[in-house]
Amino acid sequence: MNKLTFKGQAIEVEGTFPQVGEQAPDFTLIDNALSSISRKDLLGKKAVLNIFPSIDTPVCATQLRTFNHQLSGMKDVTLLFSSLDLPFAYNRFCAAEGIENIITASDYKLSSLAANYGVKMKNGPLGGLYARAVIILNEAHEIIYAERVNEVTDEPNYDAALAVLASS
């Protein structure tokens, strides 16, 4: 499906969203220290990839807070949040919220999630930004959960994502 909605308005998304059972596509992002981080840097641990439009929206902020809280005790899981926001915005948000032990990474430089994960919205009020998605990878980075939220202003299905993670 390459059509989503934003407040009920139809929008299109570029590319193909990866599916459960596939090997996770590569990505290269910029972390909060302005260094590159790639999928390969996370191998050997489960990874929860949270992709969203912008940290400066209420739903995106809630998504970060919720996953951070629910996964805080899981030492074998890497929690990675990514959008096109600059690393400085992530630093500001995490400092204000007391969020630690997560990876925030911006795709402002290479747009590798747009190219490899099918999350870039083509049109609509947020055209050019990323749609909301949650992708969970096992230790070998095979996709074990994939959700691109149909209505961009809705939160992801936390229960379904956490159930898959708990059973893996």
Structure confidence by residue, pLDDT tens digits, 109-145: 999 998 899 999 999 999 999 999 999 999 999 999 9
Task: Please report the pLDDT score of residue 1 as a whole number.
Answer: 53
Q: Are 113 and 101 in contact (CB under 8 A)?
A: no
Give the fold, CATH level 3, of 3-167.
Glutaredoxin (3.40.30)
Query: What CA–CA distance (Å, rounded) separates 115 from 143?
Result: 17
DSSP for 137-159, please give it: E-TT-BEEEEEE-SBTTSPP-HH
Task: Please report the pLDDT score of residue 23 as a whole number.
Answer: 96
| pLDDT value at 2 more than 80 | no
Query: What CA–CA distance (Å, rounded) separates 153 from 52?
Result: 10
Q: Are 63 and 52 in contact (CB under 8 A)?
A: yes
Delimit the domains of the chain by residue range: 3-167
The mean predicted confidence, pLDDT, of the chain is: 92
Residue with tokens 């994502």: 161
Structure confidence by residue, pLDDT tens digits, 30-88: 998 999 999 999 999 999 999 999 999 999 889 888 988 888 888 889 999 999 999 99
Q: Is 60 part of the annotated catalytic residue set?
A: yes
The H or E element that residue 63 is part of is helix 58-71
Query: What CA–CA distance (Å, rounded) separates 23 from 109?
Result: 24
Catalytic residue among 60, 103, 119, 165: 60
Query: What CA–CA distance (Å, rounded) separates 54 from 139?
Result: 28
Q: Where are the beta strands (DSSP E) in 13-132?
A: 28-31, 36-38, 46-51, 77-83, 103-106
Query: What CA–CA distance (Å, rounded) separates 43 from 47?
Result: 8
* 140 C-beta neighbours (distance < 10 Å), count: 10
Query: What CA–CA distance (Å, rounded) separates 33 from 35?
Result: 5
Residue 168's SS3 state is coil
